[in-house]
Structure formats: structure tokens, C-alpha cells
Amino acid sequence: MNVVIRPLRFTTDVDAMRGFLERLGLRSRIESERGGWVDMLAGHGMVALHDAATSSTGGRPGQTTLSFEADKLDEVKDRLEQVGFVDVTVFDEAYGRVLSVTAPDGVVIWVDERSDDLYGYKVHDVRPDERWSVTPALTGAEEPAWRRFLHGLGIELPVRFSSPDEPFAVGLELTTTEDLTEVHNRFTDLRVTRSDNTLQITDPDGQLVVVRG
């Protein structure tokens, strides 16, 4: 099915966040010609950026949610239903087909189907840095149920579970085989905290982005 994990960040400054993520090795793949949206590729996984001011779903500045991209939504729907997630709907949006499903903890997840009709978007020929992977953190998640959900999607658990007693939240995290000292040196203008094999970098939205070596 080729499902790719894609955290979605609502931001007050798409260009600033894009520049920040480019310094981390991600590359812009598709962006709206009107601005306000860009998705970015890592070697493994993606990050999407959405202008919070134009969000139709109430996305707050600095908030990260979880979404995915897939080749064939009908196959995704069948797999999710087979593992017990029956609240699945596939519908059409202006930009293509979308699957909506209620995941564990009552979280609504959207999966976008890849489309060749990209009218209104700029497409970039990108070669992502294979050393970088998108590995978001789920706080307050019911881990066994989320493992079953991700298995149904066909995702091999590129997430980290933490603080199960906290409210549900998605943290933007990445994993890299690049030397963390070299990464650290690219962010001398920003607040960075290093401990063992981890960097915590304050991004343009004022949120902590965690990089694990």
C-alpha cells in the first residue's frame, strides 16, 4: 500500500518552518501556488506545513497533528476494517481523495491519496537526504491500540510513545544517522539543548523539535 507517515504542523510562518526543516535535511516536494501549504520529504517519512490562519479544521499555531499519505485508499480502508477500525470514510476533496478514520483515543486521522492531478500546486524534483527519518512522538497514547492501528495502516511503527498519562499530543521528532555535532553547528542562531544522542531545537513556532541520533 505504500503508506507514509506525515505529521502536519500548523504554523504562523510556512516559509520560516520550511527553511528550518530544510536545515534538518528535508526537501520541499509539493507546495500550493497560493502559498500556505507545503509538504516535505525526508529519507523516510514526510512533514506537511499548513498556514494556521487558513486552517478549516481549527489548527492552532504550533500544533502538530498526525496524518498519512497512501497510494490506494480503498486498500487502506479494507486493512483498517480488518483490524477493527470500522469508522472509515473515503470522500473527495478539491485536491483529491481523502480517508477519514477515528483512531485510538478518539483522534480523527486523515489519509490523503496520492494524485497525479496537481493543478494549483508547484512540484519540485527532490532528492531527500536518506540519513533522515520522520519519527513523531505520541504523548498520552494508548500504545497497544495505536500499534494495532498503525499495523492496519501498514506502518512499521516509526513513532515513539511517551507519557501515557498526559493529554494526547503529537511531537515533531526526527531520527538521523548524520553526526549530531554537524547538525548542531547548523543551528547556532537558535536555542539548542544537547544530551547524549539527542538535540532539542526551538523551531520558528516556538516549539521543541527533537532530533535523535
Reading the block at residue 173, the C-alpha cell is 521528532
Residue 111 contacts residue 69 (beta carbons within 8 Å): yes
For 80-89, the pLDDT digits (tens) are: 999 999 999 9
For 139-179, the pLDDT digits (tens) are: 999 999 999 999 999 887 689 999 989 999 999 999 999 99
What integer pLDDT is reported at residue 55 of this predicted model? Answer: 81
Average of per-residue pLDDT values in the chain? 93
Q: Which residues of 119-142 are buried (b: 16+ CB within 10 A; e: fewer)?
A: eebeeeeeebbeebbbbbbbbebb
Return the bridge partners of 193, or none. Answer: 200
Q: How far apart are CA 202 and CA 66, in angstroms?
A: 20
For 97-129, the pLDDT digits (tens) are: 999 999 999 999 999 998 777 777 788 888 899
Q: What percent of the chain has pLDDT over 70?
A: 99
Residue 200 contacts residue 192 (beta carbons within 8 Å): yes
Question: Radius of gyration (Cα) for the chain, nearest Å?
Answer: 17
Query: What is the torsional sign of CA 53, 116, 154, 110?
Result: positive
What integer pLDDT is reported at residue 93 of this predicted model? Answer: 81
For the whole model, what pTM was predicted? 0.93
pLDDT band at residue 13 using 50, 70 and 90 as cut-offs: very high
Task: Tell me the residue ranges of DSSP E strands in 104-162.
Answer: 108-113, 121-123, 132-134, 137-139, 160-162
What integer pLDDT is reported at residue 2 of this predicted model? Answer: 87
Tell me how many degrees the CA angle 96-102-108 measures, rounded to the nearest 5.
65
